């Protein structure tokens, strides 16, 4: 199967699963389900669940039993976007081409919709642990997911970004913040998928290298797109990094150098996949696809 068909196929299965997670409507708290679905079902690249499925597929094809874990990643990611858009954080009016959650439902519901999605992610993941063939592997995978989204992962990165940002003096400081804020749940998607599939320590090590490289390349690309893309393509306001006086990769290197580093990181990520031979072809193509994205 060619890469585009493979990707479309994965995204369709993810959308189908996501569509059926939050179905409640007619009880008194119906508004919260609507607000959660408003953001969860508003498109997006579905990168994290796709990565989890792609890593799992290196070892096993029974995708149905890992779909709940993959979609948990998307729920965690979506909650972080809702909270990141709040006035107390990045204060963004648009996300994924539509009004951000708080602009549509108000701040209180947006906060609760984010909380609801985070909780639902673990309800869904834990439900899947109970029915997984190898419960221990499944628990280990969920533990990796939980840690990556917590204070030593994504939340920690957000804190560094918001409160320690003016102390970021070097590219190394910035890479540390990125490795937590964006990198941690990209990495855990891949590692959780591999653990669920039964990867050994050597295979996990290679996947960790791959994940670290594409996570950083993804974030550098995000910094580049904030300068070069448009609201229509990106689905959110561009130029916000400069407007908010944010330190980004482009505070340290030129756009050309940043683009060169994206290409180099992608090459290194691809090299880390050599132990898997042809089985890693979709992960390799995914890394390449991320460098060529325009949103």
Which residues of this protein are in contact with ligand GRG, per CB under 6 A? 44-45, 47, 77, 80-81, 83-84, 96, 154-155, 158, 181-182, 219, 222
Q: How far is the CB of 57 from ligand GRG (least distance, A)?
A: 20
Q: How far is the CB of 208 from ligand GRG (least distance, A)?
A: 19
Closest CB to ligand GRG among 90 and 129?
A: 90
Phi then psi for 272, rounded to 5 degrees?
-65, -20
Closest CB to ligand GRG among 45 and 267?
A: 45
In angstroms, the CA 265 to CA 260 distance is 9
For tokens 């419960």, name the residue.
Answer: 135
Closest CB to ligand GRG among 68 and 215?
A: 215
In angstroms, the CA 47 to CA 56 distance is 14
Closest CB to ligand GRG among 96 and 213?
A: 96
In angstroms, the CA 161 to CA 157 distance is 6
Q: How far is CA 220 from CA 18, 83, 171, in A?
A: 28, 22, 11
Closest CB to ligand GRG among 80 and 266?
A: 80
Q: Are 268 and 284 in contact (CB under 8 A)?
A: no
Q: Are 213 and 265 in contact (CB under 8 A)?
A: yes
Residue of 66, 62, 20 lying closest to 41 (CA atoms): 20
Closest CB to ligand GRG among 67 and 199?
A: 67
In angstroms, the CA 110 to CA 155 distance is 17
Tokens of 74: 């998307």
Q: How far is the CB of 43 from ligand GRG (least distance, A)?
A: 7
Q: How far is the CB of 1 from ligand GRG (least distance, A)?
A: 23
Q: How far is the CB of 201 from ligand GRG (least distance, A)?
A: 29
> Which residue number places its CB atom closest to ligand GRG?
44
Q: How far is the CB of 44 from ligand GRG (least distance, A)?
A: 3
Closest CB to ligand GRG among 59 and 221?
A: 221
The contacts of residue 173 (CB under 8 Å, 6+ apart) are 167
Q: Are 39 and 78 in contact (CB under 8 A)?
A: yes
């Amino acid at each position: 199967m060619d890469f585009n068909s493979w990707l479309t196929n994965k995204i369709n299965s993810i959308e189908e699963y996501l569509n059926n997670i939050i179905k409640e409507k007619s009880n008194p708290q119906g508004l919260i389900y609507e607000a959660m679905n408003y953001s969860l079902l508003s498109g997006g690249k579905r990168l994290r669940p796709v990565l989890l499925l792609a890593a799992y597929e290196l070892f096993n094809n029974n995708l149905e039993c890992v779909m709940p874990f993959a979609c948990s990643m998307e729920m965690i990611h979506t909650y972080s976007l809702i909270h990141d858009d709040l006035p107390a954080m990045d204060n963004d009016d648009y996300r994924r081409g539509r009004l951000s959650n708080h602009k549509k439902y108000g701040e209180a519901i947006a906060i609760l919709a984010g909380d609801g999605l985070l909780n639902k992610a673990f309800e869904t993941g834990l439900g899947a642990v109970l029915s997984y063939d190898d419960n221990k592997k499944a628990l280990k995978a969920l533990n990796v997911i939980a840690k990556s989204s917590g204070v030593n992962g994504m939340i920690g990165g957000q804190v560094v970004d918001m409160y320690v940002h003016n102390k970021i003096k070097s590219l190394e400081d910035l890479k540390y913040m990125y490795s937590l804020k964006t990198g941690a749940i990209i990495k855990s998607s891949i590692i959780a998928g591999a653990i669920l599939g039964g990867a050994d320590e050597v295979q996990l090590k290679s996947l960790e290298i791959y994940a670290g490289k594409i996570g950083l390349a993804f974030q550098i690309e995000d910094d580049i797109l904030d300068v070069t893309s448009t609201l229509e393509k990106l689905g959110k306001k561009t130029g916000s990094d400069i407007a908010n006086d944010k330190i980004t990769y482009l505070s340290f290197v030129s756009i050309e150098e940043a683009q060169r580093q994206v290409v180099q990181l992608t090459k290194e990520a691809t090299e880390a996949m050599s132990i898997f031979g042809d089985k890693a072809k979709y992960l390799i193509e995914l890394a390449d696809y991320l460098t060529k994205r325009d949103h």
